[in-house]
Structure 1
Amino acid sequence: MRGARAGGPELPPPPPLLLLLLLLAAAAAAAGQPRPSVVLVASDSFDGRLTFYPGNQTVALPFINFMKRYGTVFLKAYTNSPICCPSRAAMWSGLFTHLTESWNNFKGLDPGYVTWMDLLQKHGYHTKKLGKIDYTSGHHSVSNRVEAWTRDVAFLLRQEGRPTVKLTGNKTHIRVMEKDWQNTDKAVNWIKEEAVNFTQPFVLYLGLNLPHPYPSPSTGENFGSSTFLTSPYWLKKVSYEAIKIPKWSSLSEMHPVDYYSSYTKNCTGEFTKEEVRNIRAFYYAMCAETDAMLGKIISALRDTGLLKRTIIIFTADHGELAMDHRQFYKMSMYEGSSHIPLLVMGPGIKQQQQVSDVVSLVDIYPTMLDIARIPAQQNLSGYSLMPLLFEELENEVVTRKPRPPWVLSEFHGCNVNSSTYMLRTDRWKYITYSDGNSVPPQLFDLSADPDELENIAMKFPVVAHSLDKILRSIVNYPKVSSSVQEYNKREFISWKQSLGQNYSNVIANLRWHQDWLKEPKKYEDAIDKWLHQRQHQ
């Protein structure tokens, strides 16, 4: 595990001339080496804790283990926003969510935004994107965006089907998520038929839907995704005896935002231990299928001889709670939702290394530029991972911005009735909401309480205040929260006006239709009251 260096007297900084010579020498050495190709495999909803002990005891993930054996695994990697589009916007832009204003699954980056892949292409890389991209505005369901816009309305409606499991096929059924397998096949064919012939390096991006839960059409025409679906083939990869049944607070003791999330995700009903165990088992089986797709990419690179000159990165947009804290899905700062996998292997990268530094998705952008030897942009929120990955860079003299001892994550979308901000340090996780006053904050000591069962913000007010001060130095979160509230109301009004007389029918039949249709006037009145309220200052 990467730790502090041995003590000793600090060396004085090198004189300017020596520094210049060292920089020139490093540049000359780099110029003599061909730039590596890069493959980034990004899954959806993969809990990063499954990539190291003890989480890795629950399911067989041979290709993730292969990457650990021949590369580096990050033990504290986090999403910058635990929902699909905003998290991917952070990864592709290198900027925090409040800087790109990627507030929800409908509001991402502008279509023409210059991503790291655009820059690599400009600097001579062949580029290819396959599968789920999802970082630009205008996508996802109407329900998803309306639920986000109306999160401040004084009503409580179930927005998802009750989480459930479904077994399909038999013991030989491998290709359960066929769409992902088809995109994986396309990536393999591209590697074998095109990339193998390139004289210049390439960057390949493969976006997977797994292990995101599947749609649940049984809940109605406008349905959410609450079904954990797999086959016996993948389920046998799961060690049932290693599955941990999470502890839950009583409904009356839940944090108010957690209660809102649990209710809107249809998780406040009764669940037996067997139901919870099965949901988790099926989810882990879906992770095993994801791992197999990663394996196809690794095998294709090996078979073509490209593996030795290609850097492979495996990550995810966010995690999956899988009934942690009486929730499924993401949209939470708890570990199951916010902790992502991040593994890197390739030429020059340290093998069998576990990095304990806190890192996040915004670090992908500067890392890609570093790999391609493109000068770093100064306005990025992230920091290159290269010094943590390469032996020869660990003690480099080249001046870089020092990596801060924290990562930031924020959430402004559906299933949560308040803008949420997380500051994660080596030991602490501080979560605050809205303006910092109207909703109580949370503080967890992850070294002593990895399951985040005890909010100790009241016990350690000095720590909470110190972390809040750091957070406010990064982002003026009360101002951001207010901006999001204004955006939500403005977008909802525009959407409502666009529907005209059809508004009542459309809004009644979104994902919350099972509750809404019981008392439609009550809920329309609640929205009208919200629309006429003065914006909180």
Structure 2
Amino acid sequence: MTSPRTSPARRPNVLVFFTDQQRWDTTGIHGNPLGLTPVLDGLAGDGVGVDQSFTCQPVCAPSRASLQTGQYPTTAGVFRNGLALPRTAPTLARSFRDAGYATGYIGKWHLAGDHTSGPVPEEDRAGYEYWLAANLLEFTSDAYETTLYDHDGTPHHFDGYRADALGSAAIDFIEQGRGQTQRQDQEQEQGQEQDRRPFFLFLSFLEPHHQNSRDDYPAPTGYSERYDDPWVPSDLAALGGGNWREHLPGYYGMVRRLDEVLGQIVNALDEQGELEDTVILFTSDHGCHFKTRNAEYKRSVHDASLRVPTVLRGPGLRGGVRLPDLVSHVDLPPTLLDAAGIPVPDHMQGRSLLPLLSGADPDWPPEVLVQISESEVGRALRTDRWKYGATAPGLDPWNDARADTYEDACLYDLHADPDELTNLVDEHAHDRGHDCAHEGILAELRERLAERIVASGEPRPPITARRTAGAERR
């Protein structure tokens, strides 16, 4: 079965350009005034810019599991870092491969558990054929030292800046293989001709994630200096703490170089005559709050952790559309399949964005669900106006994937308080026994959150008012 949006004779290539720990407001389309992302802004101007796009788990492995499966992290079996994606999981790579695509993965994987930092066993690659990656790229590379491992586990060492190395590998894939897998290359050398196939390439960067070994944001040489007097997002300026003063210049320099690499790949596609037949998705796994909300960079319910830039461009995804609806990571895999004319499998828990572009999905959910692990066992709901979070005190956020019951943790009015500075649950907890202006809102959001938890595949939990007024402010 082929979607009417694509020709049965020519299915589009699909390229995912995936960054790590990139806030939505690093981009020009979201108001950053520094000119960091002219290429991405141009793709949005000609394609589809998703104005409100959110991870469904603000930490590396769970968000990556969602993008590979179209499922929530608990359903996919990767609710925190250190867990491997189940080897039999239905994945994007397998869907594209079964539809006749050549599939390739380049860069950071982070879905083979903690048993390896470098080579990933073939059975842990989720069905990708071409492979040039490292499980934990942050531990097999530095800014100017990159090691990736091929299909056979052979290391390949790259000089130059890390993002450039990954971009060059992607261009080689496009120009030399154009969808040919390593096994196909070997067969061709033996005289067995193979038809050219459309490709699905997932290109996964570490930038602009910090370098773990020294808690630094190493931009290319000379790039940090360009942003010594950076524009400061309003939440960081208002909160005042954290380490953004030290790290924003390097962070912005990394974002700038990523956009330049994106430009090189777009040019390569154009030179190969593939650009107009390629669906490009740009997104990130989660954001970054620079230790203003907790002792590290994410794992919180705030938009600085959750909201990411998302742009699509390609056949069926043109016109400079700005999509206002709230979108979750689980919606992106079905969108890619739909754009390629491949039926969306029933196991995926998200919905394709393509019907939204034609106004044909009046039942699109008015909120997104977020799962939180490692810092707490929590669930959150993000609507256009409200951010509501519930947590399960006393559980182990490293070992407990979910809770049987939750209680109020936070409520923010995003219209009045877009930087999420005033937790209205604190007000309610202190005013208990009196008429609270937000009791009706809390009751409604508890119900909506419970419904979304059920829809994600978990049992319906009771969600109650916070039991103690002295809990830590969020």
**The two structures share one fold, judged by TM-score above 0.5:** yes
State yes or no: 1:181 paired with 2:157: no
Distance 1:403 1:471 in 2: 16
Matches within 5 A, 1:215-230: 215-217=212-214, 226-230=215-219
Distance 1:470 1:412 in 2: 20
Partner amino acid for 1:210? Answer: E
Give the aligned length: 389
Q: Is the 8 A contact 1:92 1:135 kept in 2?
A: no
Secondary structure in 1 matching 2:36: coil
1:80 aligns with 56
State yes or no: 1:445 paired with 2:413: yes
Q: What per-residue deviation string (whole Å, max 9, x for no partner) do you get for residues 195-214 of structure 1?
A: 18863321111010111000
Match of 2:277 among 303, 309, 318: 309
Q: CA deviation at 1:384?
A: 0.5
Q: CA deviation at 1:411?
A: 1.6
Q: CA deviation at 1:387?
A: 2.0
Partner amino acid for 2:49? Answer: V
Partner amino acid for 1:36? Answer: P
Distance 1:371 1:134 in 2: 26
Q: CA deviation at 1:465?
A: 1.7
Match of 1:238 among 227, 233, 238: 227
Partner amino acid for 1:195? Answer: R
Partner amino acid for 1:300? Answer: A
Distance 1:74 1:176 in 2: 35
Secondary structure in 1 matching 2:223: helix
Moved more, 175-184 or 402-411: 175-184
1:190 aligns with 173
Match of 2:441 among 460, 463, 470: 463
2:308 aligns with 340
Q: 1:445 to 1:32 in 2, by over 3 A?
A: same
Distance 2:221 2:365 in 1: 45
State yes or no: 1:39 paired with 2:36: no
Match of 1:109 among 57, 74, 85: 85
Q: What per-residue deviation string (whole Å, max 9, x for no partner) do you get for residues 141-176 of structure 1?
A: 8xxxxxxxxxxxxxxxxxxxxxxxx999xxxxxx99
Matches within 5 A, 1:219-298: 226-231=215-220, 233-238=222-227, 240=229, 242-244=231-233, 246-247=236-237, 276-298=244-266
Distance 1:130 1:196 in 2: 13
2:37 aligns with 61
2:206 aligns with 209
Distance 1:352 1:387 in 2: 16
1:409 aligns with 370
Secondary structure in 2 matching 1:349: coil
Unaligned runs of 5+ in 2: 118-141, 145-157, 181-194, 393-402, 429-436, 462-474
Q: 1:63 to 1:466 in 2, by over 3 A?
A: same
Q: Is the 8 A contact 2:85 2:112 kept in 1?
A: yes
Matches within 5 A, 1:85-164: 85-138=61-114
Secondary structure in 2 matching 1:56: coil
Matches within 5 A, 1:304-453: 304-325=272-293, 328-389=296-357, 394-395=358-359, 402-413=363-374, 416=375, 418-434=376-392, 440-453=408-421
Distance 2:233 2:4 in 1: 52
Secondary structure in 1 matching 2:364: coil
Distance 2:327 2:350 in 1: 9
1:473 aligns with 451
Q: Is the 8 A contact 1:195 1:202 kept in 2?
A: yes
Q: What per-residue deviation string (whole Å, max 9, x for no partner) do you get for residues 464-502 of structure 1?
A: 22111111112269x8899xxxxxxxxxxxxxxxxxxxx
Q: Is the 8 A contact 2:28 2:36 kept in 1?
A: no
Secondary structure in 2 matching 1:466: helix
Q: What per-residue deviation string (whole Å, max 9, x for no partner) do you get for residues 13-58 of structure 1?
A: xxxxxxxxxxx9x966755562211100111101122235554214
Q: Which has the higher helix share?
A: 1
Partner amino acid for 1:469? Answer: E
Distance 1:209 1:289 in 2: 12
Distance 2:35 2:64 in 1: 26
Q: Is the 8 A contact 1:131 1:183 kept in 2?
A: yes
Distance 1:429 1:177 in 2: 42
Distance 1:177 1:465 in 2: 55
Partner amino acid for 2:387? Answer: K
Partner amino acid for 2:109? Answer: I
Partner amino acid for 1:102? Answer: V
Secondary structure in 2 matching 1:301: helix
Moved more, 60-69 or 81-90: 60-69
Q: CA deviation at 1:241?
A: 5.2
Distance 2:219 2:362 in 1: 45
Q: 1:241 to 1:102 in 2, by over 3 A?
A: closer
Secondary structure in 2 matching 1:40: strand
Distance 2:254 2:5 in 1: 44
Q: 1:179 to 1:28 in 2, by over 3 A?
A: closer
Relative contact order, higher structure (CA 8 A, sep 6+): 1
Partner amino acid for 1:204? Answer: L
Q: 1:27 to 1:326 in 2, by over 3 A?
A: closer
Q: Is the 8 A contact 1:60 1:238 kept in 2?
A: no
Q: 1:177 to 1:436 in 2, by over 3 A?
A: farther
Q: CA deviation at 1:139?
A: 5.1
Q: Is the 8 A contact 2:372 2:378 kept in 1?
A: yes
Q: Which has the higher strand share?
A: 2
Secondary structure in 1 matching 2:197: coil
1:162 aligns with none
Q: Is the 8 A contact 1:419 1:481 kept in 2?
A: no
Q: Is the 8 A contact 1:110 1:137 kept in 2?
A: no
Q: CA deviation at 1:242?
A: 2.4
Distance 1:57 1:436 in 2: 45
Q: Report the structure number with the largest CA radius of gyration.
A: 1
Q: Is the 8 A contact 2:159 2:165 kept in 1?
A: no
Distance 1:402 1:101 in 2: 28
Q: CA deviation at 1:125?
A: 0.9
Secondary structure in 2 matching 1:475: helix
Distance 1:293 1:29 in 2: 29
Could you tell me the TM-score, scaled by structure 1's length? 0.65
Q: Is the 8 A contact 1:176 1:230 kept in 2?
A: no
